[in-house]
Amino acid sequence: MTKRLDGKVALVTGGARGIGAAICAAFVAEGAKVAVADLLAKDAEETAAALGESAMAVAMDVTDLDSIAAGVAKVEEAFGGIDILVNNAGVFTMSTIEEITHASYRQQYDVNVGGTIFTAQAVVPGMKKRGGGCIINFSSQAGRRGEANVLLYCSTKAAVISITQSMALELAKDGIRVNAIAPGVIDTPMWDVVDGLFAKYENRPKGEKKRLVGEAVPLGYMGSPEEIAAPCVFLASEDARYVTAQTLNVDGGNWMS
């Protein structure tokens, strides 16, 4: 039986844990070869090892252009090229406007915005030579509206939506589709960190914010990484061959657009 990603090579940034690891597993299950790229090199190696011969680990810092270039070159040499890029690497912080520092600003923008732009820049020449490809960027429901004490994260994820549209229009002539996914509240280890930050800034007991946001989702629960990986497979596959420049909300009904 033919699988949806047979013969494809995917590079997934932030692929070692959480949503990224679920995407890597889903891609391998659909027949792709996958490069698990992450700053956490040991975790990337463990995730790739668990996926077998169809996966490889790549140590990559998406804020470092040399690291991106070296990682992309390693994947192209090992697997022959890259057909799919998933820009999943991201960081989250909270702070009041008075607390924002230039360092915190740079961290959020260098990873969430710069990492998206410059990793795409590194893979596009190879995709053009292969006659096309697919780029999937990660925004967030936080990119759809502002939120108190989350100015930096919300603004970076709003930028990803705009980047996706501009990139898609530029690369359409080259057969490269560019879309984004905007997850809602997803039950990953990162959300435990987020919950702790909300406990600080909203004076809540730990665990309460996580429970409340799950209950507030129209479908009634926090999503799982696998529920983000499934639409990612769709966007990467030929099923989505006429879809580009879109940001798909995968959030249980939190945001309607």
Catalytic choice (153, 201, 221, 242):
153
Among this protein's residues, is 109 annotated catalytic? no
Both structure tokens of 202 = 């909203």
> Other C-beta atoms within 10 Å of 237: how many?
19
> Other C-beta atoms within 10 Å of 211: how many?
13
What lies within 8 Å, CB to CB, of 205 at 6+ separation is 199
In the 8-state DSSP scheme, what is residue 120?
A: H
Element (H, E) at 21: helix 18-29
Contact call for residues 24 and 12 (beta carbons, < 8 A): yes
What lies within 8 Å, CB to CB, of 183 at 6+ separation is 19, 138, 140, 141, 223, 228, 250, 251
Catalytic residue positions, numbered: 153
